[in-house]
Structure 1
Amino acid sequence: MRRGIWTTDPLLTAPDRPEVVRATDLEQIGVPRRTISRRCAADGPWRTLLPGVVLLSNGPPSDEHRVHAALLHARQNAVLTGTWALRRHGLERVPRQEEVHVLIPANRGVANAGFARVERTHRLPRPHLRGGLPVAPVPRAVIDAARRLTDRDEIQALMAESVQRRFCTTDMLAEELDQAGRTGTALVRKALTPLQAGARSVAEADAWELWQRSGLPPGQWNVPIFDANGNYIATPDFWCDEIAFAWEIDSYRHHANLEDHRATVARNARYVAAGIVVLQTLPSRLRTEPDEVERELRAAFRTAQARPRPNVKRVA
């Protein structure tokens, strides 16, 4: 190819041209290696994102550029996983991680480079296409992300959102975690346990642990309660059916909205009308005043025990 002809190639001129390409693709359309190197220099129009991967502009790379670059670096059959995959699926409570985590078949030999973390696996998942990119299914992406986090709250928030928004179930997460083996999963397993019991948030997980510590009889989390006529009362965070006792973990943040506040007041009125004993606790107190909260729990529990059980029922 004569010098300069490559400047009109569709790879560089088409309206839908890629912004991130392999250097080998540039060579195939006739761009000499020395030209690629010169254009990727500090004052050039392009820049190198990863070894052999070029951004066809010289500005700071976007997250989209980084994801494309990591997949190009990992080459064929690579699958995006972890936090970057979860954002593609639409999860919101995803911690920021600089490394872009991609999976490749175990028989491949691509090394980590820059922001690209390449993991060889014998369990390469069948990818979902999100924005045209191969993305690991939510359960796999959640566990891959969680195994690389060190903050239990972040792990629980990530898993809780995936379950609460019906991206997956706790059973699916547990199955994926079992297949991941034991290495680096102790914290993840501990964080998953309250969610398997029915907790839906970090605060509810804290409440679950405090209830376990209290030695009080077991109950259920997030089950709807109805009166004798079948009228809905509420879905308490925790419910002890034996004595019709409800425990609600109510935050200031939730009540900052007028409509949410009205809904809570109405809920509490239904509890009172039905004869249900309810204890409300701020999430922050579960960690700052656990002993006091436990005393309040025991006192409320005794109050519920002391009166005849109202005619209300849970629906599992």
Structure 2
Amino acid sequence: MTHDVPLPPRTGLPTSDERLRAALRYAQGGAEQPGAPFGPPGRAMITGLAALALHCFAAAPSLLDLDRIDVLVPELGEPLGPGTRVPLPSGCAYTSAHLVRTRIVPEPEEITGLPVAPVPRALADAVAQSADAEEVRGLLTEAVRGGHCEPQPVVRELTRARLLGLPHVADAVESLLAEGRALTEGLLYGMVFGQGLPDPCWNVELRVPGGPHLGAVDAYWPDQAVAVEIDARSPRAGAEAAWDACTHKRESLEQFGVTVLHVTPEKLREAPAQQAAVVRTALMAAAEQPPAEYVAVLPR
């Protein structure tokens, strides 16, 4: 639920910091004094396009170009405006503070001394206010391409906000997931070559000769019957069915003696050496295992 709160105009040109602090003070009922730290954590935080600008999104307008500041506030608890008018810094002219109410308050990040919503939540609040397909696509793509966050938490927030039913958002999410997939595959390539692992077969399907299809994997070492699969499931509709299919595929491969290792984008990015050690251990352990049944390796 959102609520637009007009802030009284004043003379002079405000700085971005003054606009942000005034909006936060209004959302907090005027309890904070100019220059004082904002708190307690989670009570109110900058969100939407203003938050994305603070997170240094190139696709977000500059703070001075925004005609309002979105502020995330709890839906339950003490009333948070409209109510008390808040003294604004002298010499400032404001348009409005846009209060976005939520039952689930994320942990804010501190940027320039201000509480700011994390990127996934800020994206959801920005997308909720935009019907521009290109703007939405640009913001979501930059989130992943710019290394701000993984696709999964973004999709989770969009799902929670019930935005995936909008065609322009659904299309942008498909691009987001494709972008995330390509970047994660690049991380997997970097891990294999950077950590000195043997060269696998990339992006292949495994099949019983003359029999059923067993499943596709991202990397496969046929001599050791070790497969690596990127775990990049997103919390969308049908996620439970996708999980069941993933479990079935793993069980089918293991019945034929194939060891299946799952890696996540986060682990590939943050701990590639550790993930490479897991793969290397599986490759070495294969020499001590009974030979796996032969499976055909086909291009995906």
Short-chain TM bin: 0.3 to 0.5
Which one has the largest radius of gyration?
1
Higher RCO (CA-CA < 8 Å; seq separation 6+)? 2
